[in-house]
Amino acid sequence: MDPLLSLLADLVRIPSMNPMGRARTGEAYTEEAVAEYVAAYTRKAGMDVEVCPVAPHRPNVIARVGAGAELTLMLEAHLDTVHADTMTIPPFDPVVHDGRLYGRGACDTKGSLAVFLFAVASLLARGTKLRYNIILAAVADEEYQFTGARAAVANGLRADFGIAGEPTGLHIIRAHKGVTRWRLHTRGTAAHSAYPERGENAIYRMGEVLVRLDAYGSGLQQSTPHPVLGPPTLSVGVIEGGQAVNIVPDLCTIEIDRRTLPGETREDVLAPVEKLLHDIRGWSMDEPHLSVKGMDVAGDSEIVRLLVEGISAEQIQPVVEGAQYATDAGTYNEAGIPTVVFGPGDIRRAHTAEEYIEIDQLHAAVRIIRRMLT
């Protein structure tokens, strides 16, 4: 079998589903086994390998190879996938047909991981002189809280530029939005619903909050757009409140999703909401439980130029664009590593019931990466 395909098939065969904060346990819901595989693969290729725990049984793998070069390039891909509950094909029994490889993670993003591993290992096996020192980072928890990338940066990961592997269809994503999520509560006083005047209704109070957030969100859509990403957005996606219909509710909670533009700070996100609600009593906000930065790498930067060159050599028209989804690239850019998003596969196949990746794109991506490295 084609060694690239057999590598990807091995990676798909090892479940590494993100528990997504829910009560899911067992080895299939950790990155540990696939991390061990990646560590063994990179060690065998002759790289220096560190396995760094991010959470119990959820490690990052950081593999390095020096080339005596001035600059260091990071190739990064996440180890985790979303769950497989709703899949209509065998998730961990990869099948190859019609020029595709099927299975959970094939597209998002074990395809990119396989490309990076194979590209580097095959060059090392041939003894090819590399143009850059290379860091291959395979990290945990991209699909939920981005803690793997954060831990890698906190542990001192540094490079001169980087690529975060995600299914971009070989397009170069040089900018994407960030996301901040947090909970907001309104409180009241419980009472028997036959005497509502004796209580204070936390749901009615939230009603006022929601009307204002709706108007604020519409205003954001009208604000000055980013040239590639458009305007920032705000959406309330979850509401919970009340214990029973015959009790005046004393608590109501919403969850807010705010998509940020590159450069927007925590303060830019939270302060306007606080101001908006200043004359409403009895509400409070939790600290954000998710906050990942947007990113905006200059169109004429070295990493974009290198990829454009590699893509053009494949007789593919290079596409440099923005994306609405957030990735680990936000964390690396924040840490001063200009990192774009690039990889084989179609983002519309990610997280789906019949996830697959086009084999042609895998091979093209390997050639593009190898060209960059030599």
**Nearer residue to Zn ion within complex by CB, 166 or 296:** 166
Sign of CA dihedral 62, 57, 327, 257: negative
**Nearer residue to Zn ion within complex by CB, 35 or 248:** 35
What residues between 81 and 140 interact with Zn ion by CB under 5 A? 108-109
Question: Number of residues in contact with Zn ion, rule: CB under 5 A?
Answer: 3
The least distance separating Zn ion from the CB of residue 348, rounded to whole angstroms, comes to 13
Assigned token pair, 203: 């749901």
The least distance separating Zn ion from the CB of residue 138, rounded to whole angstroms, comes to 12
Distance CA(227)–CA(167), nearest Å, equals: 23
Dihedral pair phi/psi, residue 351, rounded to 5° = 65, 10
Assigned token pair, 280: 């409403």
| Binding track over 140-169 against Zn ion, x by CB under 5 A | --------------------------x---
**Nearer residue to Zn ion within complex by CB, 14 or 45:** 14
Q: In angstroms, what is the C-alpha Rg of the chain?
A: 23
Tell me the residue length of the chain.
374
Assigned token pair, 314: 């494949």
The least distance separating Zn ion from the CB of residue 142, rounded to whole angstroms, comes to 6
**Nearer residue to Zn ion within complex by CB, 166 or 355:** 166
| Binding track over 279-318 against Zn ion, x by CB under 5 A | ----------------------------------------
The least distance separating Zn ion from the CB of residue 327, rounded to whole angstroms, comes to 7
Residue 53 forms beta bridges with which residues? Answer: 59
**Nearer residue to Zn ion within complex by CB, 108 or 334:** 108
Q: Does 76 bind Zn ion (CB under 5 A)?
A: no
- Helices 32-44 + 111-126 axis angle, to 10: 20
What residues between 164 and 193 interact with Zn ion by CB under 5 A? 166
Assigned token pair, 100: 């595709």
**Nearer residue to Zn ion within complex by CB, 341 or 372:** 341
Sign of CA dihedral 292, 328, 141, 55: negative
The least distance separating Zn ion from the CB of residue 108, rounded to whole angstroms, comes to 4
Judge whether 163 and 344 are in contact, CB under 8 Å: no
Nearest to 208 by CA among 233, 189, 238, 186: 186
The least distance separating Zn ion from the CB of residue 20, rounded to whole angstroms, comes to 13
Indicate the burial class of 156 (C-beta count within 10 angstroms; 0-12, 13-18, 19 or more): exposed
Judge whether 140 and 59 are in contact, CB under 8 Å: yes
The least distance separating Zn ion from the CB of residue 226, rounded to whole angstroms, comes to 22
**Nearer residue to Zn ion within complex by CB, 223 or 325:** 325
| Residues engaged in binding Zn ion (CB under 5 A) | 108-109, 166
